[in-house]
Every structure is written in C-alpha cells, then in structure tokens.
Amino acid sequence: LTPRFQSTISSPDSYKLSGTTYSKDTYSNIPSSILDKLDRNLHLLPSHPISILRQIVEDHFSSYTPLVPSSAVVSVHQNFDELGFPPDHPGRSLTDSYYLNRDYMLRTHTSAHEVESYKKGLNRWLLSADVYRRDEIDSSHYPVFHQMEGTHIWDNSELHNLPALNAELEKKLEECNILIEDETVISPSNPYQAHHDPIHAEQITRHLKHSLNSLIFRLFGHHASQKGAEPLKVRWIEAYFPFTTPSYEVEVYWNGQWLELLGCGVVMQKTLDLSDVPKKSGWAFGLGLERLSMVLFSIPDIRLFWTSDPRFLDQFKQGEITTFQPYSKYPPCYKDMSFWLPPSSSVIEEHGAAAAGGRLPVEGGVREKAKAFHENDYCEIVRDVAGDLIESVTLIDEFTHPKTNRKSKCYRLNYRHMDRNLSNEEVNELQDQVQRRVVEEMGIEMR
C-alpha cells in the first residue's frame, strides 16, 4: 500500500542509507524500528490525512514555494549549531535524538533546512518532512512525525510597506465561532531583536500572526461553524526558540486539554546572515501535521497514521477534511513490570534532559555515562520489541527502599493490536522479550 524503498541497512559498524554509508561510533543509537520508517513518506501519499493537510496548507499559502528535502539525515551542525542551539541544549541529548554518528543525525525538526532553503534565494517557502525524536509513548506522541515549516522574509527596504492585512479576518473568525485568545506582549523574556527597528519587528510579528490566524480560519472555519458546535478556542502563548525572537506557540483546546499545534517567531538575524541574506528579515513557523490531523479528522490515536488497514486509509479523499469513523477497537491487554533501578540511578532523575540524567554525547564518555535510568530509553526498547502493538507505557508506582535507598518503578505496558485481537500468549512473549532486553541493556533488576 505504501511505497517502500528498501534502502536502509544497519550492520554492526555502519548504517547504509540511500547509497551513503555512515560509520557507527559511540553516538549511534537508531534502532531498526525507526530505520524502517525512513522511506514511508506518509506526507507524500496523496490521500493520506497527513498529506491531505499538507496539500491544504500549500494551497492556502499558494504563493510560497513548496519544498521536500530528499533525506531525513542532516548534519548535527544543520539541526542544532546553525540555529544557535547552545552546546548543552537538552534536545542534543542521546536520550532525545537519533544519531547515525557524532556528525549526522535524523532531523528533529524541519527548521534543520532553514539555512539551506534561504540560501536558494526564496523569500517565501513551505517545507514538509518526517522528523524523528525519542519520546514517551501515548496517543499523541510517536517517535516519527511530520512537520511543515513555512517562512516569509522581505528585503529590509520593503519593510516599511508590508502588504496590507485583511481587516475582515477577525470578524470572519468570530462568525465561525473561533475564539482566538492572544495576551502575549513584547517583554524582556520575549523581546524584539536589538538591531531591528521596533516598528518593523512589530509589522513582521503582526504579519506572522495574521497569516497563521488566517490558516486557522481556512482549516477550522467550516468545522467550528457547524450547528451546535462548541466554540473552538485557540490561544497564542509566549515561547522560546534559539532561532527566533519574539517566539510564540499556538494551541487549540481539544478533548478537554490544550494541544500545541505549532511554534513560530521572527527569524533570528544570525540565521539570515548565515544564509547569505543579511539584508532581509521575516518570520517562520513549524507546524505538527499529526496534531493538526488528529483534531481536524478526529483521529484518536497517533499510531493510526502508520496502519495499512484499508478501513483507515479508504476513509480519506484528497482535498477533503472528513470525520474519521472509528472501526471496532480490539481489546487492550496490559501487563505491569516492576523493577529496581541500577544503584547509580538512585540519585539521578530520569526526567528533564538538562539534569544530569540527560546524557549529552560527550567525547569518549557516552556509554559509560549511559547507566542513569531514562524513561525514553525504556520506551524505545518497548517500541523496538512491540512496534505498533504498544499503545501506552505509564508509570504507575515508584518506591524508594527505606533502608537501602534503592529505587524501584512499576510501569504498565498497554498492548493493543489496531487490526485484530491479541492473544495472551503473544503478549506474554512480548513482555518477556522486553524484560530480557531491559535487564541486559539498562542494568535494571526485576522485582
């Protein structure tokens, strides 16, 4: 059903991807379950929901050049350094990102292509791609997802005269029952750039907000004006990215909680200088296509995007936003796993990569420091064994032995097949495999 190019090979000492060989080193941490996803290109399958949204966004920003990068492999320099990520940024950690080796990685965001795209001399472009992050397991997180980057820059001489904004937009949003809340202000924590004329910076910011609100109108207008529908609440909040300021995130209230759809901001001048367009300024955004699809098509579980079940795929048509009709869900089967953490972990907490637990790939010392327990490592072994059969992994109990000070944790692993019943034997077999591997690879001890 999906085009596959068997171009990815992992051997003990190298990865071979689309003909290029990357030799492994102490950074290499990409399991085969992730390599298998590299050529799926869900965003390019015409009637897949991810691709339907990409096409609608491209249609909305019709004067922007659509770009599709050829490979998910980027240099660490492109993904982080060029964009001003400090050397100790948690995103660089081996627990958070997938590395081929010390120099190359799977991009964690489409912003990794900003500099090369600005270098093409384009003032307006959109870029869609698959991105990779090590993460927790639940219905809205998956280690592979899709982003769309959009940007608009102007020659500084044009900034006094940005295109007029459509003043009708606010009224139209209101009529469709879309409430946009924006209490963000320019402040020392989210300032304009020092060398920008504040009048220009304000105009760029207004243009950014207007452009994205108008996209929201395009995407949600119909949905929110349906009879009896609750008003759709959208909010702008202050954010921080090393490559934009001011920076914002846009969230939508969905299923009883705020769901983050995108990050955006006024492009850091350093990025544009590096892209050989020092006399230009403008804005950029990065949108999560899965998050948006889940809201617009009412898709309840992020794993569904990866299914080949025609009961899912046949429901969608190019150009149309329709409500997903869930087909019968097969019963879940959960198993708990309790274990003692390795002694060294008693002092190092697993959350927050900036803390000692977040391992930065430091020269020569990666594996040695790898003893601290990190939930993402645990989840990845679970995914590697169970693939899409794992629905969620939840910490249900923690305990510190009063005498030995040793820590134990209990996780509930919830298994469910999307397309059929799972037998108890099958699940036990998976659970056993997970157990064996976490004991071997993480130095933990079953209780």
Burial class (CB in 10 A: 0-12, 13-18, 19+), 62: exposed
Q: In this complex, which beta carbon is closest to ligand FA5, that of residue 26 or of residue 79?
A: 79
Q: How many CA atoms lie within 13 Å of 306's alpha carbon, on the beta-carbon side?
A: 23
- Which of 41, 184, 203, 244 lies at the binding interface for ligand FA5 (CB under 6 A)? 244
Cβ nearer to Mg ion, comparing 184 with 275: 184
Q: Taking contact as CB under 5 A, which single stretch among the options 52-60, 124-132, 257-265, 334-342 is the one that binds Mg ion?
A: 257-265
278 three-class SS: coil
Dihedral, CA atoms, 384, 385, 391, 397, nearest 10 degrees? Answer: -100
Q: Which is nearer to ligand FA5, 260 or 445 (CB)?
A: 260
Say whether residue 377 binds ligand FA5 (CB under 6 A). no
Footprint on residues 99-128 left by ligand FA5 (CB under 6 A): 109, 111
Tokens (6 digits) for 58: 């491209």
Distance of alpha carbon 379 from alpha carbon 351, whole angstroms = 13
- Single out the residue of 296, 71, 377, 9 nearest to residue 305, CA to CA: 296
Candidates 122-130, 256-264, 385-393, 401-409; binding stretch for ligand FA5 (CB under 6 A)? 256-264
Q: Per CB under 5 A, which region of 139-147, 261-269, 321-329, 379-387 contacts Mg ion?
A: 261-269
Among 48, 92, 133, 383, binds ligand FA5 (CB under 6 A): 133
Which CB, 69 or 265, lies closer to ligand FA5? 265
Q: Is 288 in the site for ligand FA5 (CB under 6 A)?
A: yes
**Total residue length of the chain:** 447
Answer for the pair 272, 146: CB distance below 8 angstroms, yes or no: no
Question: Which of ligand FA5, Mg ion, none is residue 176 near (CB under 5 to 8 Å by kind)?
Answer: none
Residue 23: phi and psi, rounded to 5, are: -75, 140
Backbone angles phi, psi at 440, to 5 degrees: -65, -45
Q: Which of 57, 212, 261, 386 binds ligand FA5 (CB under 6 A)?
A: 261
In whole angstroms, the minimum distance from the beta carbon of 158 to ligand FA5 comes to: 21
| Residues 361, 372: Cα–Cα separation, whole Å | 14
Interacting residues with ligand FA5 (CB under 6 A): 109, 111, 133, 135, 141-142, 145, 147, 149, 241, 244, 260-265, 284-286, 288, 290-291
Interacting residues with Mg ion (CB under 5 A): 263
